Amino acid sequence: MAEITLVEAINLALSHELQRDESVVVLGQDVGRDGGVFRSTLGLVDKFGPERVIDTPLAEGMIAGMAIGMAVEGIRAVAEIQFSGFAYTCIDQILNHAGRMRYRTRGRMSCPMVLRTPCGGGIHAPEHHSESPEAMFAHTPGIRVVYPSSPKSAYGLLLAAIRDPDPVVFLEPTRLYRLFKEDVTDDGAALPLDTCFTLREGTDVTLVTWGGMVHETLQAADTLAEEGYAAEVLDVATLKPYDLETILASVQRTGRCVVVSEAPKTAGFASEIAAAVGEHGLLYLMAPVGRVTGYDSVMPLARLEKQYMPSAERIADAARLAIGWSG
């Protein structure tokens, strides 16, 4: 067991799968000699060689297309897109080909590929480097969307994503890459996909979130605890398909729900969860479902980034509003 960062956990999982399964390859711009833009693939080319850790040109659509072609020929391709804002040029390949392969071939072929990309704001990056496109990918049929929130979950969920027989978009919270460390055992144990994780138990309000916002949501739960309120914190982890059963069971216990996301508010994934809780858990609710999100704006540059991102204070305020709701 070693205490490592999230980006080191990604590297560890990739190394484990490259060692365990000879059909696994890693590809993307700078993933070989440079070890990736955030060094998540550092040293892998020295261990496994340039035929399995493949440097590509700066052409994201081509990277996604190569991964799909490899996958349908039996190679488990793990493609890296340097920032999620550049993943938009992969949409044609992901939506029209990867997501439809099983359906189009009547189940004769699958597409076991992973598209990895750093995601979200908080690192004062320029435009196109801090996008939150999870709702767009989650809306794409045939695609599984996974979004870890810690070194442990990044290691276990990436193993599961690589072993999955169908395409996975694996979003990595950029600002958590080196924010904290956890003990991670390199034992090859995958975490379950399509499962929501309860990070903190509580009885007064359910806080539902994923990815980088897990950090601020846990901070808000600490603040609420000092005031005598017990917030239950759920990490959705897999956004498509997501574990609504666990969310509803929590809301049934607490009677209140606040969904937290740094993506723009309109038609975001927070809206999907809020609608589902309203549709299936209306009789559990003692207050309207709250949403704490980013704004319907491009992620601003460094000086305004903190005003855009949901803070622990905004999350705690929304939780207090739900707890104190009198109808």
Q: Which residue shows structure tokens 């799909």?
A: 68
**Among the residues of 111-212, which ranges form H helices?**
134-138, 151-163
Q: Is 129 a catalytic residue?
A: yes
**Among the residues of 51-200, which ranges form H helices?**
60-72, 91-93, 101-104, 134-138, 151-163
Confirm if 210 and 235 have CB atoms less than 8 A apart: yes
Phi/psi region, residue 267 (left: phi>0; alpha: psi -120 to 50; beta: rest), is left
The DSSP bridge partners found for residue 78 are 26, 114
Contacts of 128 (CB under 8 A, 6+ apart): 83, 85, 86
Q: Which of 129, 139, 215, 280 is catalytic?
A: 129
State which amino acid sits at residue 122: G
Q: Return d(Cα 33, Cα 30) in angstroms, integer.
A: 6
Q: Return d(Cα 301, Cα 305) in angstroms, integer.
A: 6
Active-site residue list = 129
